[in-house]
Structure 1
Amino acid sequence: MTESSPAAVLIPNLLWRTLHWPCWAFCRTWLRVNCSGLENLDNTRGGMLLVNHQSFLDPLLAAMWLTRPVSYLARDSLFRVPVLGWLLRRTYAMPISREAARGGSIRLAVERMDQGFLIGIFPEGTRSSGTEVRDFRPGFLAMVRRTNQPVYPVGIAGADRVMPRGAWFIRPGKIQVVYGAPFTPEEMAGLQSGDDAAFCELARQRVSECVALAERQMKGEPVGISKGH
Structure 2
Amino acid sequence: MFHLGQFLARNFFRLFYRVKVHGKDNIPKDKGVLLCSNHIHYLDPPLVGSFIKREIRFMAKAELFEAPILKHLIPKLGAFPINRGQSDRKAMRTGLKLLKEGEIVGVFPEGTRSKSGQLKEGLAGVGFFALRSNAAIVPCAVIGPYRLFKTVHIVYGEPLNIDQLKEEKASPETATKAIMQGIQHLLDDHHKKMN
Q: Could you tell me the TM-score, scaled by structure 2's length?
A: 0.86
Contact 2:131 2:175 survives alignment (8 Å):
no
Contact 1:157 1:215 survives alignment (8 Å):
no
Contact 2:141 2:183 survives alignment (8 Å):
yes
**Matching of residues 209-228 of structure 1 within 5 Å:** 209-216=185-192, 219=194
**Matching of residues 1-229 of structure 1 within 5 Å:** 15-97=1-83, 101-128=87-114, 132-158=118-144, 160-162=145-147, 171-189=148-166, 192-194=169-171, 196-216=172-192, 219=194
Unaligned stretches of 5+ in structure 2? Answer: none
Return the offset for 1:79: 2.2
Unaligned stretches of 5+ in structure 1? Answer: 1-14, 163-170, 222-229
Structure 1 residues 20-68: Cα deviation after superposition (integer angstroms, max 9, x where no partner): 2121122123211111112211101121111011111111111111122
Structure 1 residues 178-207: Cα deviation after superposition (integer angstroms, max 9, x where no partner): 11111114354267323x443333222110
Identity of paired residues, percent?
Answer: 23
For the residue of structure 2 that corresponds to 1:192, the secondary structure is coil
Judging by fraction of residues, say which structure has more strand.
2
Q: Which has the greater radius of gyration?
A: 1
Structure 1 residues 98-145: Cα deviation after superposition (integer angstroms, max 9, x where no partner): 699432111111122223321111111232367731121213222222
Equivalent pairs, count: 195
Q: Could you tell me the TM-score, scaled by structure 1's length?
A: 0.75
Contact 2:57 2:105 survives alignment (8 Å):
yes
Q: Cα 1:216–1:56, aligned 2, differ >3 Å: closer, same or farther?
A: farther
Contact 1:132 1:208 survives alignment (8 Å):
no
Contact 2:127 2:173 survives alignment (8 Å):
no
Distance in 2 (CA, whole Å) between partners of 1:75 and 1:191 is 31
